[in-house]
Structure 1
Amino acid sequence: MEYVAETARNPFGLSPPCDRAVPGYGDVNADFHIIGDNPGVHGGLDSGIPFDGEPWSETFFETLVQAGLLADVDPRDETVTTSGTFLSYLHMCETDADGPDEESYARLEPLFDAELRAITAHVLVPVGPTATAHIVQNYTARVPADPPEMDERHASDLRGSGFLILPIKSPETWGRDDADRFVAQVEALGDADYHQISDLGRFIPGGDPYLVR
Structure 2
Amino acid sequence: MTNPFGLRPPFDRSAAGDRAAVFGYGDANADFHVVGDHPGVHGGKRTGVPFTETAAGRAIQTVLRDVGFASGPADEPTLENCFLSYVHPCSLPNGHEPTPEDYETLERFFDAELRAINAHILLPVGERATDHLLREYTTQRHRFDASLDLSSLHAEEIRGRGFLVVPIRDPSEWDAADHEGIVSRLESILGRDYRQTKGVATMVG
- Tell me the TM-score normalised to structure 2 length: 0.87
Instruction: Tell me which of 115, 130, 133 is aligned to 1:135.
Output: 133
Give aligned pairs, total: 188
Per-residue Cα deviation, 1:62-101 (whole angstroms, up to 9, x for no partner): 221112222x0313xx221101000000000012533111
- Residue 203 of structure 2 is matched in structure 1 by none
1:67 aligns with 2:60: no
RMSD, matched Cα: 1.4
Q: CA contact under 8 A between 1:37 and 1:127: conserved in structure 2? A: yes
Q: CA contact under 8 A between 2:51 and 2:58: conserved in structure 1? A: no
- Residue 108 of structure 2 is matched in structure 1 by 110
In 1, the alpha carbon distance for the partners of 2:198 and 2:47 equals: 35
1:15 aligns with 2:8: yes
- Residue 94 of structure 1 is matched in structure 2 by 91
Which amino acid in the other structure matches residue 38 of structure 2? Answer: N
Structure 1 ranges of 4+ moved more than 4 A: none
Q: CA deviation at 1:169?
A: 0.7
- Tell me the TM-score normalised to structure 1 length: 0.84
Which amino acid in the other structure matches residue 53 of structure 1? Answer: E
Q: CA contact under 8 A between 1:67 and 1:187: conserved in structure 2? A: yes
Q: CA contact under 8 A between 1:73 and 1:80: conserved in structure 2? A: yes
In 2, the alpha carbon distance for the partners of 1:136 and 1:56 equals: 22
| 1:16-55 pair list within 5 angstroms | 16-19=9-12, 20-55=20-55
Q: CA deviation at 1:160?
A: 2.1
- Secondary structure at the aligned position of 2:194 is classed as coil
In 1, the alpha carbon distance for the partners of 2:198 and 2:167 equals: 21
Worse overlay, 112-121 or 131-140: 131-140
- Residue 15 of structure 2 is matched in structure 1 by none
1:158 aligns with 2:158: yes
- The 1:197–1:126 alpha-carbon spacing in structure 2 relative to 1, beyond 3 Å, is closer
Q: CA contact under 8 A between 1:139 and 1:161: conserved in structure 2? A: no
Percent of counterpart pairs with the same letter? 42
Q: CA deviation at 1:146?
A: 2.4
Q: CA deviation at 1:103?
A: 0.9
Q: CA contact under 8 A between 1:141 and 1:161: conserved in structure 2? A: no
- Residue 82 of structure 1 is matched in structure 2 by 79
- The 1:197–1:52 alpha-carbon spacing in structure 2 relative to 1, beyond 3 Å, is closer
Q: CA deviation at 1:166?
A: 0.5
In 2, the alpha carbon distance for the partners of 1:42 and 1:57 equals: 5
In 2, the alpha carbon distance for the partners of 1:56 and 1:109 equals: 23
Whose RCO is larger (CA < 8 A, sep 6+)? 2
| Structure whose alpha-carbon radius of gyration is higher | 1
Q: For structure 2, list consecutive stretches of 5 or more residues without a partner in the other structure.
A: 13-19, 200-205
Q: For structure 1, list consecutive stretches of 5 or more residues without a partner in the other structure.
A: 1-7, 199-213
Which amino acid in the other structure matches residue 27 of structure 1? Answer: D
